Structure 1
Amino acid sequence: MGIHKELSQIRAENQSTTKQKVFSIVCAITIGLILGLAAKLVDAQGINPIFDDIGGRLGIWIFVATLISVFSYSPKLAAVKVFFFFLSLLTVYYLYTVFFLHFVPMKEIIFWGMCAVVSPMCAYVMWYARGNGTVPSLVLSLPITALLSEGYQLRDAYLPEHTHYYLIPILMGIYLIMVIILLFIVPTKRLKFLIILPISIIMSFIIIYFDVLGRLFGGLNGVL
């Protein structure tokens, strides 16, 4: 009870009807289905590799999941919505892979399945990023740190043809745009970015220096 009271001081749940909750969950599922199909369709020869390289990495999905979380009515609903978002996204992506392309990328399915399993806990915490006090700044610094770290490491990104390496600055620019969007639309007070950004930069430096993403994902973060 005490923890719940403290959390409500950071951010109070918005009142919503059952109809509103169901509608928001359906919207999250729909977004997942559309983005899952889009991610699969751009994963084909002849398609500009910039789209495939974005869709096959964690950054874009962290960005979308963060927005779904913070603009939910409650932390519990955020957890449900993000879980169903990833479930629908991965279902349509890998059903297409199995039934139309006739192969089963088991390692990738396990990796992204694990991401879907832990996503509700992350979404629950992320909901408080749009709250009051210092805690929301620390919470929001987490996805921004992930975007900065992965965006910086795109300088070593593999693209199918050497002639496509000119696209890497564009990819890095897209990551920067996602960071800017989160910094300016999530916090309740604009000046909070003066706290969030330095924290994110410091944590990103640590992650990059110790190659945390490489050690955790071992190259799997690049194949949806």
Structure 2
Amino acid sequence: MEIYHKLNQIRVQNKSNTKQKVFSIVSAMIIGAILGLAAKLVDAPGINPIFDNIGGRLGIWVFVAALLSVFSYSPKIAAVKVFVFFGSMLTVYYAYTVLFLHFFPERAIVFWGICAVISPVCAYIMWYARGNGLFSHMVSALPITALLSEGFELRHAYLPIHTHYYLIPWLMGVYLMMILVLLLIIPKNKMQFVVVLPIALILSFIMIYFNVLGRIFGGMNGVF
């Protein structure tokens, strides 16, 4: 109860009825299914590789999950919404892969499955980003840190066709736009914005210096 009371001091849950909760969860499921299908369709030959390189990396999914989390009625709803989002997105993506392309990428399924399993915990914590105090500032900086770190590493991005390497600056531009959106939407006021950005820059520098993403994902990031 003491922990619950402290969390309520950071951010108070929004009042909602059952209909509103169900609608928000179903909406997250539909969004996940649509994005899962879109991510699979842009993975086809002849499609500009910039779309596949966006959908096949963590950044876009961190971005969407962060928005779904912070704009939920409560941390519990945030956890359910994000889990349902990833569940529907991955189900559609890999169902299409197996049923229509007759390919079963076991390693990739395990990797993204683990991401989906831990996503509710991340969403629960992320919900407090629009709260008050240092904890909220730190939480707000986490998705921005992930985007900054992965966006910086895009300079080493592998694009199968050499002539497509000119797209790397465009990919970085997409990451920059996602970062700006999070910076403008998540912080509740200018003061939080001023605090969050330096925290994200420091954390991303640490992640890049110690190659945290590379050590954690071991080359799996960017592979659906």
1:73 counterpart = 2:73? yes
Partners of 2:94 and 2:223 in 1: CA distance: 12
| Aligned twin of 1:56 | 56
Question: What is the CA–CA distance in structure 1 between the aligned matches of 2:107 and 2:43, rounded to whole Å?
Answer: 17
Preserved CA contact (<8 Å) 1:97 1:104: yes
Give 2:89's aligned amino acid.
L
CA RMSD in angstroms, aligned pairs only: 0.7
2:33 is the counterpart of 1:22 = no
Q: Bigger CA drift: 192-201 or 46-55? A: 192-201
Provide the C-alpha distance between the structure 1 equivalents of 2:196 and 2:58, rounded to a whole number of angstroms: 20
CA distance, structure 1, for counterparts of residue 71 and residue 194 of structure 2: 22
Q: Does residue 144 of the first structure (1) align with residue 144 of the second (2)?
A: yes
Partner of 2:97: 97
Q: What is the deviation of 1:187? A: 1.1
Q: CA deviation at 1:210?
A: 1.1
Which runs of at least 4 in structure 1 moved beyond 6 Å after TM superposition? none
Which residue in 2 is equivalent to 1:3?
3
Aligned to 1:185: 185
Counterpart in the other structure of 2:86: 86
Q: Which amino acid aligns with 1:211?
A: N
Task: Say if 1:68 and 1:78, in contact at 8 Å, map to a contact too.
Answer: yes
Deviation for aligned residue 1:197? 1.0
Per-residue deviation, 1:190: 2.5
Gaps of 5+ in 2: none
SS of 2:30's equivalent in the other structure is helix
Determine the C-alpha separation between the residues in 1 that align with 2:75 and 2:185.
Answer: 18
Cα contact 1:207–1:213 (8 A) shared by 2: yes
Q: TM-score, normalised on structure 1?
A: 0.99
Whole-angstrom distance in 2 between the partners of 1:65 and 1:210: 25
The CA deviation at 1:32 is 0.1
Instruction: Quote how far apart the aligned CAs of 1:216 are.
Output: 0.8
Helix, strand or coil for the counterpart of 2:150? helix
Q: Report how many aligned residue pairs link the two structures.
A: 224
Name the aligned partner's letter for residue 67 of structure 1: L
The alpha carbon displacement at 1:193 in A equals 1.8
CA distance in 2, matches of 1:78, 1:177: 23
Name the CA distance, whole Å, in 2 between partners of 1:28 and 1:92: 14
Bigger mean CA offset, 143-152 vs 198-207: 198-207
Give the Cα separation in 2 of the matches to 1:40 and 1:190.
Answer: 39
Which one-letter code corresponds to 2:134 in the other structure?
A: T
Q: CA deviation at 1:191?
A: 2.9
Instruction: Tell me how far apart the structure 2 counterparts of residues 223 and 111 of structure 1 sit (CA, whole Å).
Output: 9
Structure 1, unmatched stretches of 5+, are: none
Give the equivalent residue in structure 1 for 2:154.
Answer: 154
Contact 1:56–1:221 under 8 Å retained in 2: yes
Structure-to-structure mapping, 1:98-137, within 5 angstroms? 98-137=98-137
User: Deviation of residue 135 (structure 1)?
Assistant: 1.3
More displaced, 116-125 or 191-200?
191-200
- Structure 2: how far apart are the matches of 1:168 and 1:26? 35
Match for residue 171 of structure 1? 171
Q: Secondary structure at the match of 2:102?
A: coil
Q: 1:96 corresponds to which letter in structure 2?
A: Y
Give distance in 1, aligned partners of 2:6 and 2:210.
35
